[in-house]
Structure 1
Amino acid sequence: MDLTGYISHLRERYDELEETLAHPEIYSHPERAAELTREHARLKEIFEQHRLWISAQERVESLEALLRESEDPEIHRMAEQELAETRLEAEKAHGRLLLALLPGDDNDSRNTMLEIRAGTGGEEAALFAADLYRMYSRYAEKRGWRLTPMSLAPSDLGGLKEIIVEISGEGAYRQLRFESGVHRVQRVPATESQGRVHTSTATVAVLPEAEEVDVVLKPEDLRIEVCRAGGPGGQGVNTTDSAVQVLHIPTGLIVRCQEGRSQIKNREKAITILRTRLLAQKQQEERARLSSERRSLIGSGDRHEKIRTYNFPQDRVTDHRIPITFHGLASFLDGNIEPLLEVLAKKEMEARLATEEAASASPRATP
């Protein structure tokens, strides 16, 4: 697909929105006005990223022309160095443009539920789950997002058997939606006395938070029980009946929440988590009905799919869906994950553009 032509098409829509939003009567319908305003802002961001990409490309072409025309060795040396930097800048700008071009998702404006659970590997898996939580927390901090703990189950050595947090902030689901799946770590655990490398796993699920209108919970379908919170250490643990467990009878889904001392707040959080999981289940069933050609080429987002390996001895992070490898594991676990997220988004957009191009090129069936 011609990217420039596609951008021109979007400009036509942008002009329509400009004209519509200039009329005061549109604001008598707040929901519609908000929807059009979000679309207007998204298109504006696309044009800005397109401008930056074109600007970088023009500088690349200018430097290439200078190298062809100049015979001065010093100018050649300086131009070659600047050309390498500008090509990298153009590549990054192209990635950001493709990310901005990703079609809007109904879930983009929702809060996000991030669930991390220790998998195989015992205590080491729990420690790895804590490392992943710190990684996402640092990334969220850099993005200006707010994290609200919903459920927490610590391990004896300071790891996390499970943690569920709500993430509030612009673009949170859009940025993190590729993170669902099995994450694998290869390293020498703190509990290993002979220096052997072990392999452990943790599971990540990124879910759009459900609202009441998305999933209606009937009181007769819920079995709610209260009990004393459990966990290692801390005042208030095992002293009050604050933990809440909710069973959704039709599906058998169970949610337990003991993060706070308030039984009422834990009940509200458990209901929110349950509603979110039911919405995710509903959306997963809907995606399963789609043909294979329409599924994402970088992974289904299924929480059972192995997506990434964190190898400490080799100081690398490998994403198995593309595949691609980054070095500098410590920096990655410190929240510097955006370069990988940009590559994943770029691959997704390229796949969608290719699908659209193939669809537009194929002959239409005659009635």
Structure 2
Amino acid sequence: MNNELILEIRQGIGGAESSLFLKDLKKMYLKFFQKKNIEYEILINNNKEFIAKIYNNEYNNFLINESGIHRVQRVPKNENQGRVHTSTCSIFVNKYENDNLLIIKDKDLKIETCKSSGAGGQHVNTTNSAVKITHLPTKISVECSDERSQILNKNKALLILKLKINNETNKKNKLETNLLRKNIISKSERSKKTKTYNFSNNKIIDHNKNMSYHQLDKILDGNLDFIFKN
């Protein structure tokens, strides 16, 4: 039985502070996965967007309930007057259903390879392992150079490309999913919140449960059991 998820975190309101909050949320979930030995694969990782595929685990229902607007209240590092700022990130977690992904025709793809520009080492720039795939009808492009194998990079790039095309064009086949994603992600307003992370009081507020949890620092360190099972 396929029990895999796609976790999407995107920058919302707040500019640079929202980008920093995205990093905090990403680290929180990744530490949780590592503590629970949950297998995952990072698909996209930058300052504005993080997407990961999460493999079979017992926490799927808890993670799906994380979908919504996550709001942070804290004093930014560059705030000279000590004022608390409010920023947001959007989170969308949904079941990964490979059978429902758009079938892409080979003739619609432009596949390019180039030498990987990694962090260094004897394997860098020795083989054309990096892959860029462009879907010609939609002009959507994806680049992948995470793996040393061209085949692995191509497979990952194709998966990301399918997810992106589905999010943009496959609205009829996935109407409910796209409506939910639209409500959660496109309306990244401060007032529409799922959780609030209040740094001044070291607590997190779960607005769905109408409950507050202290020890925010420990929760951000990946101890999500405290919220999930209480």
Question: TM-score, normalising length from structure 1?
Answer: 0.49
Where 2:69 maps in the other structure, the secondary structure is strand
Relative to 1, partners in 2 of residues 1:137 and 1:337: Cα closer, same or farther, differing over 3 Å?
same
Q: What aligned pairs does 1:133-212 form with structure 2 within 5 A after superposition?
A: 133-153=26-46, 160-211=47-98
| Matched-pair identity in % | 37
Shift of 1:312: 0.7
Shift of 1:181: 2.6
Q: Which residue of 1 aligns with 2:160?
A: 273
**Aligned to 1:218, which of 88, 105, 110?**
105
Relative to 1, partners in 2 of residues 1:211 and 1:228: Cα closer, same or farther, differing over 3 Å?
same
Where 1:148 maps in the other structure, the secondary structure is strand
Relative to 1, partners in 2 of residues 1:320 and 1:203: Cα closer, same or farther, differing over 3 Å?
same
Relative to 1, partners in 2 of residues 1:279 and 1:161: Cα closer, same or farther, differing over 3 Å?
closer
Relative to 1, partners in 2 of residues 1:300 and 1:312: Cα closer, same or farther, differing over 3 Å?
same
1:242, 1:260 within 8 Å by CA — same for their partners in 2? yes
Structure 2: gaps spanning 5 or more residues = 188-192
Equivalent pairs, count: 218
Query: C-alpha separation between the residues in 2 aligned to 1:220 and 1:245?
Result: 15
Q: What aligned pairs does 1:113-152 form with structure 2 within 5 A after superposition?
A: 113-152=6-45
Structure 1: gaps spanning 5 or more residues = 1-34, 36-108, 154-159, 290-294, 344-367
What is the RMSD of the two structures over their aligned residues, measured on CA atoms? 3.6
Where 2:184 maps in the other structure, the secondary structure is coil
Relative to 1, partners in 2 of residues 1:323 and 1:279: Cα closer, same or farther, differing over 3 Å?
farther
**Structure with the largest fraction of strand:** 2
Query: C-alpha separation between the residues in 2 aligned to 1:340 and 1:147?
Result: 21
Relative to 1, partners in 2 of residues 1:170 and 1:260: Cα closer, same or farther, differing over 3 Å?
same
Query: C-alpha separation between the residues in 2 aligned to 1:174 and 1:319?
Result: 16
**Aligned to 2:120, which of 223, 226, 235?**
235
**Structure with the largest fraction of helix:** 1
Q: Which residue of 2 aligns with 1:325?
A: 212
Relative to 1, partners in 2 of residues 1:144 and 1:287: Cα closer, same or farther, differing over 3 Å?
same
Relative to 1, partners in 2 of residues 1:122 and 1:247: Cα closer, same or farther, differing over 3 Å?
same
**2:184 matched to 1:302?**
yes
Query: C-alpha separation between the residues in 1 aligned to 2:176 and 2:137?
Result: 19
Q: Which residue of 2 aligns with 1:31?
A: none
Query: C-alpha separation between the residues in 2 aligned to 1:342 and 1:335?
Result: 14
Where 1:179 maps in the other structure, the secondary structure is coil
Relative to 1, partners in 2 of residues 1:211 and 1:139: Cα closer, same or farther, differing over 3 Å?
same
Shift of 1:146: 1.3
Can you list the C-alpha shifts for 1:157-196, whole angstroms capped at 9, x where unaligned? Answer: xxx4433222223235333111223322111223334433
Shift of 1:114: 2.0
Amino acid at match of 1:133: K
